[in-house]
Structure 1
Amino acid sequence: MTEKSTPLTFEESLSELESIVNEMENGDLPLHTALEKFERGISLSRLSQQSLEKAEQKVKILLSEQGQETLTDLNTDDND
């Protein structure tokens, strides 16, 4: 029986991923449960990455419409 569900938002997937990490760091999970949590975590990580990539693409499109061609790197670490 397959169940259609609403896709998670970025915030929901990140929250669930954080919860999984906390559970796994506790170390009290049986091996099979830990593997299931790990698999779910990988899936959530990929979903979050895809959401970020889509958001970045939208920003690039909006900037190009405004005459800007690139994003400005906001990284404040100048340790190069």
Structure 2
Amino acid sequence: MIYFLLIINFICFVVFYVDKKRAIKHQRRISENTLLSLMLLGGTIGGVLGMFIFRHKISKKSFLLKFGLIFIIQVVLMYFFKKYI
């Protein structure tokens, strides 16, 4: 499980980097659904690092709202798994 989380966070971080570079060059972008899906699969830390280090998607309120929802879902799931498993 630890290896999976390390890999998915690294992938998410790199995808945020690639999307930021594409945005700067006005090229075809990576969809927000892809970014959010990677975060939902466990890449939240990599996504947050990518957002702040590359200053990417930090001013887009709709994206931040969806990210917040994903974060809350993950916290609730961790609570229930820790409590009942």
Q: Could you tell me the TM-score, scaled by structure 2's length? A: 0.39
Q: Could you tell me the TM-score, scaled by structure 1's length? A: 0.41
Q: Which has the larger radius of gyration?
A: 1
